[in-house]
A and B are shown apart, each in its own frame.
Chain A
Amino acid sequence: MLAMTTPAAAPPPPGPGGPAIETHELVKRFGRTVALAGLSMRVERGEVFGFLGPNGAGKTTAVKLFLGLTPSTAGEGRLLGAPLGDREARRRVGYLPELFRYQPWLRAREVLGLHCALAGIPRPDRPEEIRTALDHVGLADRADDLVGTFSKGMQQRLGLGAALLGRPELVLLDEPTSALDPLGRADVRRIIREARERGTTVFLNSHLLSEVELVCDRVAVIDAGRVVAAGTLGELLGEDSVRIRVTGLDGEARAALAGFGPLTDDGDWLAIRPIGADRIPELVAAIVAAGGRVHAVEPGRASLEERFLGLMSQARPR
């Protein structure tokens, strides 16, 4: 079985102007309910940052605090170098809320026009911004339709387009694919990668761990309002390994493969752990060059889902 996943690119070095988001012991209480119990985290500029956690962990509350939609009870934080909720900083931020709804009596083009005006995009630039956003999210042919006639998925696409208006420095996407079909999800991944290439920081709040794994440079997992793990995917998921089913290889040739890493020989199956994912093609080539026949290659690494479930079971022992 060949099941190679493309590893996410290495995270960029910290950009100029400090981190995109930085919080220190951020607390939010709603009456007796503690939504955030001391959130400390840092998102560097230019990276795609995944924010994971179970329902009720405080993910959406955290995003609302970043944007000043809800004031914090205690703690502090900065967004694009300014205090949380700062109006000027919000000019450089795009946001797709989890609860995405737009005026049903407006046309898609008008919704984007409204957000251009609210974001302070100069009037002469707005038509081009709107056209680009509509093209980007695949709604160019529905530009003049009322939003009230849109499906949930189309409204979410529209919200994504609105979030990307004016090429913001930071985009906060709260469950951006919750209403989308597989094609739509692929589009969102493409849009996120394009934003990253333009140097935009993307903060992705998602339940879909496989998507986070595909596009994110770094990840933080929160539970009960606190970060329980954070780091690059490599740091979080541990070492890569590979299992190869091979025949026609003598003992000497098998022993020579130990140069790639600690080798476990189990008959037809050879396992090497750890090994860099980028060295696996080289390993296969070496086996073939030594006269071996490769029947299967299984790169191995704990999936984000396995790691996530592991973290949750540690945090909530039964």
Chain B
Amino acid sequence: MITILRLTLLEALRWRTLWALVALTLAIVVLSGLGFEYLVSQARAHHTKELQLQVGVSQMLIFCAFMFSFILAATAAFIGAPAIAGDVESGVLLAMLARPLGRGRFVVGRWLGLAIVVSTYGAVAGLLEIAAMRLASGYGPPDPLGAVGGLVGQAVVVLGVTLLLSSRLPAIASGAVAIVLFGLAWGVGVLGGVGTALGVDSLGAAGSVARLVFPSDGLWRAAIFSLEPPVVIAAIAGNRSLRVLEANPFFAATGPSSLYLAWCLAWAIGILGLTIVSFRRRDL
């Protein structure tokens, strides 16, 4: 398993596309930091209140996180899709699995290696963006690690599903289906929020179910909650009249419960187990 983990990390390090993505991300961090600095200085020049500024900056940060979450999910699908299917299609795996290497160890090694790559990229890029925002505006989100954790968790969810699909489907189909599932989960989550805001319980329940079946949207909500100013959270707490804010896909009234986070962990382990079972049964 360690051999496959190291092989996967080496593969990622030699992947030019990944380095290009890192360079682009760094450019975006620098440019967005400059943009924030300009906007905040303009707002202060117009005597905008500090609270308004905090809310505005946090919403812009959440919007950035939203775009970054798609990039991260797409990256997870992009690197996860060929991790099993590509090696099967090319024949690389025939010589490897003829060695005393169990398929379960291969899958876990692949999963761990890619999860490290995605998590490292997501954590470094996310924290850099938050740092750039803080430097430019003076506003720092209350729980930057929680925010980055939510985004990375979301990407690991997509990675796990992509690998599961990759154990059976061709690489391109695995990546495409995983991205569609990610988009669907987000869409149903938004509809669930609208349902809750409008008091349509069945629609609200659909959102909750979607967050259990495919927990990327639940983790996205966790990331949002970690980026919101505490003053906003405090104002909303216990105020049922502000329930309409649930319809905003860039807003979360509550953070994730420990039980939900435990479910996400169990879900990821379960999907990994399914991937192992699925791949073990595959004819090579």
| A30-B283 Cα distance, complex, nearest whole Å | 9
| CB <8 Å contact, A69 and B284 | yes
Q: Which residues of B contact A95 (CB under 8 A)?
A: 94-95, 98
Whether, in the assembled complex, B97 has its beta carbon less than 8 Å from a beta carbon of chain A, the answer is yes
Which residues of chain B in 79-129 are interfacial with respect to chain A, using CB atoms and an 8 Å cutoff?
90-92, 94-102
Contact of B99 among A97, A101, A115 (CB under 8 A): A115
Which residues of chain A in 98-120 are interfacial with respect to chain B, using CB atoms and an 8 Å cutoff?
99-103, 105-106, 114-115, 117-120
Q: How far is the CB of A236 from chain B (nearest CB, A)?
A: 29
Q: Which residues of A contact B98 (CB under 8 A)?
A: 67, 69, 90, 93, 95, 97, 172
Q: How far is the CB of A237 from chain B (nearest CB, A)?
A: 32
Which residues of chain A in 62-89 are interfacial with respect to chain B, using CB atoms and an 8 Å cutoff?
64, 67, 69-71, 87-88
Whether, in the assembled complex, A43 has its beta carbon less than 8 Å from a beta carbon of chain B, the answer is no
Give the bracket for the number of chain B residues in contact with chain A. 20 to 34
| CB <8 Å contact, A96 and B95 | yes
Interface of A is mostly: mixed
Query: In this complex, what residue of B is CB-closest to A95?
Result: B98
| CB <8 Å contact, A115 and B100 | no
| CB <8 Å contact, A118 and B283 | no
Whether, in the assembled complex, B14 has its beta carbon less than 8 Å from a beta carbon of chain A, the answer is yes
Whether, in the assembled complex, B3 has its beta carbon less than 8 Å from a beta carbon of chain A, the answer is yes
Q: How far is the CB of B35 from chain A (nearest CB, A)?
A: 37
| A120-B101 Cα distance, complex, nearest whole Å | 10
The 8 closest A-B pairs by CB, nearest first: A99-B91, A118-B99, A97-B94, A95-B98, A101-B91, A69-B284, A87-B100, A70-B283
| A178-B151 Cα distance, complex, nearest whole Å | 49
A-B contact count (CB 8 A): 66
Query: In this complex, what residue of B is CB-closest to A88?
Result: B100
Q: Mark A247-286, 1 if CB is under 8 A from B, else 0.
A: 0000000000000000000000000000000000000000
Q: How far is the CB of A59 from chain B (nearest CB, A)?
A: 14
Q: How far is the CB of B272 from chain A (nearest CB, A)?
A: 21
| A249-B247 Cα distance, complex, nearest whole Å | 111
Whether, in the assembled complex, B7 has its beta carbon less than 8 Å from a beta carbon of chain A, the answer is yes
| CB <8 Å contact, A97 and B95 | yes
Whether, in the assembled complex, A91 has its beta carbon less than 8 Å from a beta carbon of chain B, the answer is yes
Whether, in the assembled complex, B11 has its beta carbon less than 8 Å from a beta carbon of chain A, the answer is yes
Query: In this complex, what residue of A is CB-closest to B280?
Result: A71
Q: Which residues of B contact A70 (CB under 8 A)?
A: 283-284
11 contacts between A and B (CB under 8 A): A91-B100, A95-B94, A95-B95, A97-B94, A102-B95, A103-B7, A103-B11, A115-B99, A118-B100, A118-B101, A162-B95
| A102-B98 Cα distance, complex, nearest whole Å | 14
Q: Which residues of A contact B97 (CB under 8 A)?
A: 67, 69
